[in-house]
Structure 1
Amino acid sequence: EVGSVPEVGDRAPRSSDGRIAFPSAKLVLLVFLRHCGCPFAEKTFRSLTKFSTKHPEIQCIAVSQGSPAETDKWIAETGGEWNVEVIPDERRELFAQWGLGLTSTWHAMNPWVWYQTYRLGKGEGIWGSSGASLGSAVSGPPREAGTMWQMSGAFAVEANGSVAWSHVARAASDVPDFAEALKTL
């Protein structure tokens, strides 16, 4: 069952298994990724890794849809240097607790998403597993886990456990702006 998306000022949902607990010792930036191999998941994770190295005072957490093994493989192939805790959520229970359910075909594959996929590939070399279908010789980490229908999102949470910022993707290509989150913390 998918809960409601927490709004600014709400108490952050507590995970029933203790993987994510509030209050915490630090401010938290919690990011729910699209499926492994999605170019926008890769872009989001790369943005989060850069943010994490610039802001060690903030605990950065990425939640993956993959199993631990699939997530580890995708993260290694995505590369980079970071200070991000990665939590595999194969059954997408954490996604549901934070109000992130399944999306529509329009959300995942509208013309704007395809255009943004092409722009991301051409501009930044991030093609994801769609690179081959777009005529690119470059291909990213394969889509090994998760579903393209899963909604992504990001939340900034104060140390006391209250939500300070919320970003639920309006489309598959919607990558959160972590600078906006920083303004609220």
Structure 2
Amino acid sequence: MTWQQEFWSWMTPSYVKTAEPPAIGQKAPSTPKLTVPKDGKPTIIAFLRHCGCPFAEKTFLNLRDAAAAHPNVQFIGVSHSDQGSTDRWLAALPDTPKNTQPNLQIVVDAEREAYGAYGLGISSFLHVMSPAGLSNLNKLGKEEGIWNRPTESGNRWQTGGNYGVDKNGIVQWNGMHQRADDMSDFKKGISLVTAY
């Protein structure tokens, strides 16, 4: 990782067409890299911020723990960092063997097509740099030891969010993030997608 990579992570990413976010009760969007439901199971999708973001790390760790606790639900983490950066980031996370839960898949979407299909575009300055978000960043580091990691690829302005899709491919949960530090309640999403 170089200072140039960190610098470019702050630059505005290239334009990606962004659809309206799928509403509850609508068919989940499909892209070449992301088709749900996966294996005919209810599916939780976590669109991550860039690899290196502490909030992306916490989201992924929560997703991984949810996958271990709910083997009948499929979990997908979507990264917009490139494949090599995503692989190195995953290898650096604690309890790495848990990252290979059979019902947990990582999709690399460096072109951000799936992000756009789910209505996740570029954020505002306050989305990333809000005082409350920066305070929560410090709190996450102090309380859980999750700090910024090197950002080799990806962009800090890309929004994240989570969706829940039932076994019939219908969106039952929308957890779009309003700020960089938002953490969705996967328990709520799981309860909604498994009810069908």
* TM-score normalised to structure 2 length: 0.84
Tell me if 1:8 matches 2:24. yes
The match for 1:88 is: 108
Is the CA contact (8 Å cut-off) linking 2:34 and 2:107 kept in structure 1?
no
Aligned counterpart in structure 2 of residue 121 of structure 1, from 141, 164, 168: 141
SS in 1 for 2:52: coil
Aligned counterpart in structure 1 of residue 171 of structure 2, from 146, 163, 173: 163
C-alpha distance in 1 between matches for 2:71 and 2:37: 18
Aligned counterpart in structure 2 of residue 21 of structure 1, from 35, 39, 43: 35
The match for 1:133 is: none
User: Which amino acid is 1:128 matched to?
Assistant: N
C-alpha distance in 1 between matches for 2:86 and 2:136: 24
The match for 1:137 is: none
| Aligned Cα root-mean-square deviation (Å) | 1.1
Is the CA contact (8 Å cut-off) linking 1:42 and 1:128 kept in structure 2?
no
Is the CA contact (8 Å cut-off) linking 1:27 and 1:159 kept in structure 2?
yes
State how many pairs are aligned.
171
- 66-75 or 22-31, larger mean C-alpha shift: 22-31
Instruction: Name stretches of at least 5 consecutive residues in structure 1 with no aligned partner.
Output: 130-141
User: Which amino acid is 1:4 matched to?
Assistant: E
SS in 2 for 1:128: coil
Cα deviation 1:117-142 (Å, max 9, x = unaligned): 0010011110123xxxxxxxxxxxx1
C-alpha distance in 1 between matches for 2:146 and 2:73: 26
User: Which amino acid is 1:75 matched to?
Assistant: L
Is the CA contact (8 Å cut-off) linking 2:37 and 2:43 kept in structure 1?
no
Which portions of structure 1, spanning 4 or more consecutive aligned residues, are displaced by more than 3 angstroms?
none
* TM-score normalised to structure 1 length: 0.89
